[in-house]
Structure 1
Amino acid sequence: MQNHFKNITLKATQSTDLYEIEMIQSLWSGYGKIIRLGLENGIKKSVVAKHVKMPNQKNHPRGWNTDFSHLRKVKSYEVETNWYQQWAKLCDDNCKIPHCFVIESENGEVFMVLEDLDDAGYDLRKDSVDWSDIEACLKWLANFHATYLEEKPTGLWDIGTYWHLDTRPDELKIMDDKTLQKAAPAVDEKLNNCKYLTFVHGDAKLANFCFSSSENKVAAVDFQYVGGGCGMKDVAYFIGSCLYEEDCEKLEDKILAFYFKELESAIALKNKDLNFKELEKEWREMYPVAWTDFHRFLKGWSPSHWKINSYSEKMARQVIRKLS
């Protein structure tokens, strides 16, 4: 670790020294790493440091090594920096995120020191879920969306999610599904022209949720693709990340009923002055549209992906038929 980054970490955490406990993960395509640091005589026992360093040689695991792809990633780290500096403070315990102690950029590197969610009690990571886990994540999303309803995403992505159409021209160009390819702009426009918009997390997969071992609550991480949008983008993407197609279909009504119940409660707590029934009607209609939007991305990015299934194909056909 550069001495400069070490010094700002010590100062921000009021520690006398630090040491690396473990590397949690490498960042996508070799853009850096996330490490857990132990602190001596500090305000916390440990923190998590995210160190972004742009690679000299682009090395995307699926072969997407274009300048366009590189610039998208660069912007994503700028967005995450802006998120923590300008917007994160609005999140409360109902949409828990790690507290940011410090963010610093120097010589093309980004260094951020974040609360260690393991130490804060969110120490479980899951690769499969039961219904109570789904509820916890949907409640987090509902509170997050309520918090940022009708806000302007200044400093963030104008349109959130990492699969947004304008940021994925290469994947669109090579799609074999020409019907969906042709419909993609209309799907995108439908989502972007919602009357009710909020901030979406933009990468709300199961792997980005940290579960509490003592209560049915979660915290979320990774805000590189946060930006404006319809909340159904996060909900559809989350459900697709943790359920197989049979359960996606079987539980669809239950999922949406729970999410909108939590969203209504969260909006009431935030004293947001809007017509909730109108919002719910609009967003329910957007659920299959949001699902189709991500399905479009997958069919260009990784045509053999396990998430490409009969449920998604049925959703897409229904949406395209309505749009045409």
Structure 2
Amino acid sequence: MSSEQSAHEVASSLLAERGLTLKSLDVLQSLWAGYGQICRITATLNASPNSSGATSRTTSTTTSSVSTPQEVQSYILKLITPPPTKANNEGHTRKILSYQVEQYFYTTLAPQLPPHIPVARHIASIHEPRPDGGVSMAMLISDLKQTYPVAGEKRDVLNDIQVHAALDWLSSFHGFWWPRIPTLDRSQLVRPPLQEVTTDGQDARHKSVWLNGGYTYLATRRTEYANLAADHESEWWSLTDWEKDEFSIAELVASALEPKQEGWSPIEGYTTLIHGDVKSENLFTSKSGEEVVFYDFQYTGLGLGVCDLAKLFTCSVPLEMLVDDRPVPRELAMSEGEKELLERYWVRLEKESGKDYDWGIFVNHWEMALVDWLRFQASWGFWGNTEWLEARVRFILKNETLKDAVAGNAKMAGLWGKTDLP
């Protein structure tokens, strides 16, 4: 059976459970390493819907918005058919877990969001174990382009209006979840990939979102970190050099930003749910650009909202919105443009959450997030507003008071004496 036939079969099955008939299917893109497909499908309401909805699969469904038999509706099908999960393959395992996290987000968390924080609506999903030990997953969600027709596009910058709309969405999303984080069951959070999957390929579908949101955090990027540490010709080798009591500044910052499954964390009172992969490619906007909606929640998990902003500012915000003068100096303090964007986010975050966030603490968190994001880019490959990011981090690392505070927080969080850093 071809992959296209498989997508047709799955789409037809999911639609039938909702009393819908498949009309068309177009493959939009293949997933990473051939792990599946994303398709746009259209469907109409059956004249005589199948009321049984019986299936041998594990499914989850919600009410469809289809109103008349003649109305053609558009949906997005995300079909995942990866090879079996294996121990000690971090990249593969991260992807498998990320698809399960995304399915959990859409089925369980997204319905809790108020209308002013729009996301795609979950229609139906499948999570089906395979005889070879792998798993097949599929998710049917509403088509965002019907309401938000302008795609952010891959590795492109947004215009001023879109940037402001993205900040408003993120501050609302982060603010909504901030006071609700204590209600999450920490034991059900997804740990780093190699901790999560045993030699038998542990199934994490009954868990929720990542303990540490995003995909760049140091606990899962030790190989890249080691490569950077060995590259003495790189300026940013200094991030891996010993700073305080045999720990590098990169390790200290990573520890300070790391949510904990149990015990005290320096960011505990400010932890929220972050998107985890904020970039222009993962959003749509209205024609005016004044409304935005994000998608691709594979790396949603706990963290500081500023960690989402670090990637957004580097990869999708026009440089002229961040700096006052060109060319960018070698060392750069916070410019007025950067401050204005942060203040817009910060004010709305406090309003949405009903919580106080001292501006000084917020800026310290922001600067740590920039250092951590630079560490990933330096070890993986730079893109985006590289000059701005590097200039900001050079300036930040001159602040010995901040570095001492980071070291002190790491010590209090129990970093000292650990052998599995961070």
TM-score by length of 1: 0.86
What does residue 41 of structure 1 align with? 45
Cα distance in structure 1, aligned partners of 2:270 and 2:95:
28
From 388, 393, 398, give the equivalent of 1:311: 388
What does residue 238 of structure 1 align with? 312
Deviations 1:54-92 (A, max 9, x none): 158x9xxxxxxx811111111111211221222111222
Matches for 1:233-272 after TM superposition, within 5 Å:
233-243=307-317, 245=319, 247-250=321-324, 251-267=337-353, 272=354
Cα distance in structure 2, aligned partners of 1:109 and 1:215:
36
What does residue 28 of structure 1 align with? 32
Cα distance in structure 2, aligned partners of 1:216 and 1:179:
41
Equivalenced residues, count? 306
Maintained 8 Å contact 2:276/2:308: yes
Deviations 1:225-249 (A, max 9, x none): 0000010011121111113555433
Matches for 1:1-324 after TM superposition, within 5 Å:
1-2=5-6, 5-20=10-25, 22-41=26-45, 43=66, 45-55=73-83, 67-106=89-128, 107=130, 108-119=135-146, 121-126=147-152, 127-150=156-179, 151=181, 152=184, 154=189, 155-175=208-228, 176=231, 177-181=236-240, 182-192=248-258, 193-194=266-267, 195-213=269-287, 216-243=290-317, 245=319, 247-250=321-324, 251-267=337-353, 272=354, 274=355, 276-278=356-358, 280-302=359-381, 305-307=382-384, 309-320=386-397, 321=400, 322-324=402-404
Maintained 8 Å contact 1:99/1:115: yes
Cα distance in structure 2, aligned partners of 1:130 and 1:12:
41
* SS of residue in 2 equivalent to 1:51: strand
Higher helix proportion: 1
The CA RMSD measured in Å over matched residues stands at 2.4
Structure 1 letter corresponding to 2:292: V
Please, which runs of 5 or more residues in structure 1 have no aligned partner? Answer: 59-65
CA 281–89 in structure 1, closer or farther in 2 if over 3 Å, else same: farther
Maintained 8 Å contact 1:245/1:309: no
Deviations 1:119-150 (A, max 9, x none): 2x111013332221111000000110011104
* SS of residue in 1 equivalent to 2:315: helix
The alpha-carbon deviation at position 97 of structure 1 amounts to 0.6
CA 39–24 in structure 1, closer or farther in 2 if over 3 Å, else same: same
Maintained 8 Å contact 1:160/1:201: yes
* SS of residue in 1 equivalent to 2:178: coil
Structure 1 letter corresponding to 2:311: Y
CA 214–178 in structure 1, closer or farther in 2 if over 3 Å, else same: closer
The alpha-carbon deviation at position 277 of structure 1 amounts to 4.0
CA 246–289 in structure 1, closer or farther in 2 if over 3 Å, else same: farther
The alpha-carbon deviation at position 288 of structure 1 amounts to 1.7
TM-score by length of 2: 0.67
Identity percentage of aligned residues: 27
Cα distance in structure 1, aligned partners of 2:256 and 2:393:
14
Cα distance in structure 2, aligned partners of 1:132 and 1:37:
31
Maintained 8 Å contact 2:272/2:304: yes
